[in-house]
Amino acid sequence: MTNSKNSKKMDDLAEKIALDDFDKLNEQHRFSDTYIQKKKLFMEEIKSRSEQSKPKRKRKRILIAAACLLIGMPTTAFGVAKVYDMVVKKQNYEVNISVINKIFKKNHDWYKLEIGHLPENMEAIDESEMKYSFKDNFAQGGFSFLLWRLGGSSDFSTLYSKGYEEKEIDGKKAVIVKRDTGNNNLMFDRQVFLLFEEEGIMLESYIGTDVNDKQMMQVLESISLESTSEEKSSIIMDYDKSLFNDDDNTSELSVIPLQKDSKQLFKVGQTVPVTLKQVETGIKNRLDFVIEEVKVFDSIQDFKQVDFNDSSLGIINEYKALDETKKLIPYRRHVYKVGNGKDSIDKLLESPLVHPKFVYLTTKVKNTSKKATEEIYMHPSLQILKPEKNAWNYAEEDGIAEDSIMTTGEVDYLKPHGNGKSFYNIGSLQPGETMKISLGYFVDEDKLDSMFLDVFHYSGFDKTEDMNAKDRWWIDIRQ
């Protein structure tokens, strides 16, 4: 068994993949039809996600907590035919599943994940067919699947666990881990490990809170792995302990704050010169982007609902921050001290009553290049920054998380916008073409004087994030 640090990294990595909106990954990378290209891009995404895994920067929807403490549950082992031994152990909030291949010989065949049954109104959110959601709760909850090709000894860890159950599902050994954060941020409340012994594959499944137990079992009982060609196969991750060992130096991300006199910091009304590298051709397009006006509203009555991000409206309604006249009303914002998920859980510190506002931006973007752009995905991120000496830095405190209506990293309102899965897609711009774009964000009233917009930021960063980098453009929109 790997040590506890490696198990935690395994859990963190797997969860980031499962929680990620696969439609966005597909939009940004445009998977080709060959498995090699798909897996290369998938691995790059994993590497990028793991290097960026700083607790204070996690999106609020993936805040993980536990509701109760179960200590000293007995270790359980069951033999899987004559090849595999699987041992399950729970300590505090961590469940460890160790799979040992006694006559190790890795299976290098290719398989396609087949799902024979889906609940009514559920569909795959992209062509990878590894993430499914209900149409009326798109890209939220549902099912997320990961396939792991087992090695000689493979260990899987789940944090923030309140209990587990061992059972057989369609003749296959399975472990169902139940989770509970104790707050409203839990998107996946069950994690299921299903062993395909003959194929040497572990299926790891994240089950959304919008899926009941009967629906979960019907789907899991219908799952099979079908032999196929490499090109048509599902993405299968090789279990590799080197991905999770301490040699990769995956320390917390360090941040170089945004200098107040940075050349990458702009004001409302200023033209922001953006260089946008195209994914498919590598051609660099030059864009001029400008925020012409910023307005703050107490109501969204005068804005068409079709132009709002469905998930953002869902959050607003969940917190009952909108009355029947579409006026924004006060709600309780919960502030937690974050536990590590293994030995400690999240603790509620305070629940102040705050008033949300709708921040509306009138902008325009112009293609100043001689060639047309590829399709542009418009999702500038609204960030809350605090003064730090002669610079601006992220306002979040280490170990503290806020459960609020603010969807950092997403756009709550966009006009024009794409349809369905391509909401952020505003199309391409011809040479010299100018497009007017309206952006909107739900912001807590006490954050209005700390708002900055991080625009056209598509690339990741290494272990150090430089907020002054040449591919970062910030706009001061404080009110």
According to the model, what pLDDT value does residue 185 have? 73
According to the model, what pLDDT value does residue 278 have? 79
* Beta carbons of 455 and 274 less than 8 angstroms apart: yes
**What SS3 class is residue 171?**
coil
Integer Cα distance of 270 and 286 in angstroms: 16
State yes or no: pLDDT of 226 exceeds 50. yes
Name the helix (H) or strand (E) containing 15: helix 4-19
Strands (E), 129-259: 131-134, 143-149, 153-158, 161-169, 172-179, 188-196, 201-208, 223-227, 237-238, 254-256, 258-259
Domain ranges across the chain: 4-247, 254-476
Strands (E), 257-332: 258-259, 265-267, 271-277, 284-297, 331-332
State yes or no: pLDDT of 217 exceeds 70. yes
Q: What's the whole-model pTM score?
A: 0.70
Q: Per-residue pLDDT tens for 155-172?
A: 998 888 889 999 999 999
Query: What value does the mean pLDDT take over residues 28-32?
Result: 29
According to the model, what pLDDT value does residue 31 have? 29
According to the model, what pLDDT value does residue 50 have? 37
* Beta carbons of 205 and 145 less than 8 angstroms apart: yes
User: Which distant-in-sequence residues (6+ apart) come within 8 Å of 215 by Cβ?
Assistant: 119
Q: Tokens in use for 419?
A: 């349809």
According to the model, what pLDDT value does residue 393 have? 96
Q: Per-residue pLDDT tens for 384-419?
A: 999 999 999 999 888 898 989 998 778 999 999 998
State yes or no: pLDDT of 422 exceeds 50. yes
pLDDT band at 241 (very low <50, low <70, confident <90, very high): low
According to the model, what pLDDT value does residue 430 have? 96
Q: Tokens in use for 188?
A: 């996946």
According to the model, what pLDDT value does residue 120 have? 94
Residue 102 vs residue 328, higher pLDDT: 328
User: Which distant-in-sequence residues (6+ apart) come within 8 Å of 197 by Cβ?
Assistant: 80, 81, 83, 84, 172, 173
Q: Per-residue pLDDT tens for 54-66?
A: 333 333 333 322 2
According to the model, what pLDDT value does residue 410 have? 84
According to the model, what pLDDT value does residue 103 have? 75
According to the model, what pLDDT value does residue 78 have? 44
Q: Tokens in use for 138?
A: 């798109």
Q: Per-residue pLDDT tens for 133-151?
A: 998 877 789 999 999 998 8
**What SS3 class is residue 413?**
strand
Which residue in this structure is represented by tokens 């009941």? 212
State yes or no: pLDDT of 354 exceeds 90. yes
Q: In the chain, how long is the greatest CA-to-CA distance?
A: 70
State yes or no: pLDDT of 258 exceeds 90. yes
- 323, with CB counted inside 10 A (0-12, 13-18, 19+), is exposed
Integer Cα distance of 63 and 58 in angstroms: 7
**Smallest Cα–Cα separation from 404: which of 367, 429, 453, 441?**
441
